[in-house]
């Protein structure tokens, strides 16, 4: 019986040892190697400009006139400018498409969330600074348009297409 027990214990140990060897061998056989690759992420220069209202109408009427004065004016600040850029040292400039306006149109950026407002500009076909130091940012400002006409200029319409440009400062 002692011999038989010895044989059974011996077989159990051999079976356990074989199982361990097989498990280790199996685990090693499942290792297929490693691999890798390179991921490159490129961010291009991004610049976005949007005006919140499509059209602004300035109407000088008798309500805007002071008797005895040649100059008449009207203002509108119902429009906002929104921008975003990931480039440093940027500004926003503004111009109009109307080469020979009969009346004067001025623009001022009010309360910019980023950067500094330039002084009020009289719009022309040449780009003029509206906002400075906007840098890498997104922001907004209210646009204050002022239309000025002289009584001596008579009546008429000026139609401007306004262009806002984000450019290097």
CA atoms of 165 and 169, how far apart (whole Å): 11
Decide which of 77 and 20 is more confident.
77
CB-facing half-sphere around the CA of 56: CA atoms within 13 A:
25
CA atoms of 109 and 93, how far apart (whole Å): 11
Average of per-residue pLDDT across 51-74? 87
- Taking the CA atoms of the chain, what radius of gyration do you get in angstroms? 38
CA atoms of 47 and 40, how far apart (whole Å): 22
Q: pTM for the whole thing?
A: 0.76
Average of per-residue pLDDT across 142-150? 96
Q: How far, CA to CA in Å, does 69 sit from each of 74, 148, 152, 157?
A: 14, 12, 10, 21
Average of per-residue pLDDT across 143-153? 94
- Alpha carbon 90 to chain centroid distance? 13
* pLDDT band with cut points at 50, 70 and 90 for residue 15: low
CA atoms of 153 and 143, how far apart (whole Å): 26
Q: Inform me whether the pLDDT recorded for 5 exceeds 50.
A: no
Mean per-residue pLDDT of the chain: 86
User: Tokens for 149?
Assistant: 């006409």
Looking at residue 133, what is its pLDDT? 96
CA atoms of 50 and 16, how far apart (whole Å): 75
Beta strands at 137-150 and 104-110: parallel, antiparallel or unpaired: antiparallel
Looking at residue 4, what is its pLDDT? 47
Q: What is the pLDDT of residues 97-118, one digit of tens each?
A: 999 999 999 999 999 999 999 9
- DSSP track, 101-120: -SSEEEEEEES-SSSEEPPP
Edge-to-edge order in the sheet of strand 47-51: 47-51, 71-85, 137-150, 104-110, 121-122
Decide which of 20 and 78 is more confident.
78
Cα three-residue angle 140-98-114, rounded to 5 degrees: 15
Looking at residue 12, what is its pLDDT? 46
Residues 6+ apart with CB under 8 A from 156: 102, 103
Q: What is the pLDDT of residues 24-37, one digit of tens each?
A: 555 555 667 889 99
């Amino acid at each position: 019986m002692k011999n038989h027990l010895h044989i059974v214990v011996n077989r159990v140990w051999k079976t356990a040892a074989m199982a361990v060897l097989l498990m280790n061998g199996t685990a090693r056989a499942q290792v297929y190697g490693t691999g890798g690759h390179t991921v490159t992420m490129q961010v291009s220069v991004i610049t976005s400009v949007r005006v919140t209202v499509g059209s602004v109408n300035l109407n000088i009427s008798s309500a805007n006139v002071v008797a005895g004065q040649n100059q008449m004016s009207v203002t509108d600040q119902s429009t906002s400018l929104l921008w975003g850029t990931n480039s440093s040292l940027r500004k926003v400039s503004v111009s109009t498409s109307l080469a020979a306006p009969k009346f004067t149109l001025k623009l001022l950026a009010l309360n910019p969330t980023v950067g500094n407002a330039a002084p009020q500009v009289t719009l022309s076909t040449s780009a003029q600074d509206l906002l400075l130091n906007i840098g890498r940012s997104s922001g907004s400002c209210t646009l204050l348009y002022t239309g000025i006409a002289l009584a001596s200029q008579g009546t008429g319409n000026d139609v401007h297409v306004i262009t806002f440009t984000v450019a290097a400062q």
